[in-house]
Amino acid sequence: MDKLINFPPPRAFRSYPALLRELRPASTAGNEGEASVSETLQKETSSSSIEDPLLCNVELPLRAVFYPLGFAFEIVTNSQAVLDAAGESWRHSRPRDSGPTLQLRIGVTARVSGSCPPAPVARGQQHLISLVADAQNHAICDLNAGFAFAWLTEDALQNRSYARYHFIEAVALILISTTYATPIHAACVSRYGRGMLLCGPSGAGKSTLAYACARRGWIFTSDDASYLRHHANELRVVGNSHQVRFRPSAKDLFPELRGRNITPRAEGKPSIEVPTAELPGILTADETLVHHIILLNRVPSAYAELRSLPREAAQQYFRQYLQLPDKIQEMQAEAAKSIFTADVHELRYQDLEQAIECLDLLAFGQGKPTGQPR
């Protein structure tokens, strides 16, 4: 009978103290300094880390359910700081309906460098998406299961805006975007019971125009990220109506923003984030029935005017933002067909007041866009 060969486990699956013992030269085995380091590491690493090198069974005793965009999202963790950070993001959100609860299990490990990790890189295949900042800060999302797990260091949580934006909020929105609603790059406001999506590339003025409308009595639903409800016969969108993000230049347009600090980010566009509750006179709604899709075209010296467009123009605009893996993208494309229930217009403008006047007339039913949809 052949001798049974006991292969050692792969290095990546062995515990850190075991690797240290393996790598330590035999000549230094009796060195007291080395022994004390090894003993310290052994104390800091629980016995389960040897039996559970993947940390699958680490206790995560804390849990809470939050409602980003109104959808149930449970966080299970070993750190109160994680729940506090999530509370900052969604303390105003309330449940919307009784769908399945999404879950993020997030473990926190000790401080490594004392500095904020880099922004994570996102990658995806089939129903899996990874967010990887470095070897200690990363997340995996299972789109089919509505489940994700992440590991973060105390360094990441020390900068709560980093942990919230790049991991906690990002994971929640990724899971929501496959289970409940499709993300679309558009602001949403409504007037006289008529909802409007304000669409356009970065710099088109979506957030600025949406907030300018809200200052004039419109109902605000979202600044530049709206979510198209799945399984709806009408074009219904939900958004984060509890916060507005501005570019720093918005201080020149809106005096109430002066004195507000720029929200720190590891990378990306700088922004000023303001809770709508702190902005006087702003009316909000978490969900809106959309009747008009407005493609913004900011043109220097242009007098504001609306032009009718074929509905295919909106389809083409939204299709470019469907970037998840194929099967998920097919489901989202099916949900996006509801845009055919809305009229589509191009708004050529430069002056905000003129633009708001055009939209107000359209919402009231007196606007007469030029051209005819094909």
pLDDT digits (tens, 9 = 90+) for 228-244: 998 888 899 999 999 99
Mean pLDDT on 247-276: 81
**105, 89 in Cβ contact below 8 A?**
no
CATH 3.40.50.720 fits 183-255+270-364, yes or no: no
Which of residues 77 and 368 earns the better pLDDT score? Answer: 77
The H or E element spanning position 219 is strand 219-222
Percent pLDDT > 70 in the chain is 80
Global pTM value = 0.79
Q: What confidence score (pLDDT) does residue 349 get?
A: 93
pLDDT digits (tens, 9 = 90+) for 248-261: 888 889 999 888 88
Separation of alpha carbons 322 and 145, rounded Å: 20
Q: What confidence score (pLDDT) does residue 117 get?
A: 93
Separation of alpha carbons 86 and 96, rounded Å: 18
From start to end of 43-177, where are the E strands? 62-66, 73-77, 102-109, 121-125, 128-134, 137-142, 147-153
Domain chopping of the chain, boundaries: 62-179, 183-255+270-364
Mean pLDDT on 101-108: 96
Q: What confidence score (pLDDT) does residue 272 get?
A: 87
pLDDT digits (tens, 9 = 90+) for 175-222: 998 889 888 889 999 999 999 999 998 888 999 999 999 999 999 999
* pLDDT higher than 70, residue 32: no
Q: What confidence score (pLDDT) does residue 290 get?
A: 95
Angle at 248 between CA 242 and CA 252, to 5 degrees: 100
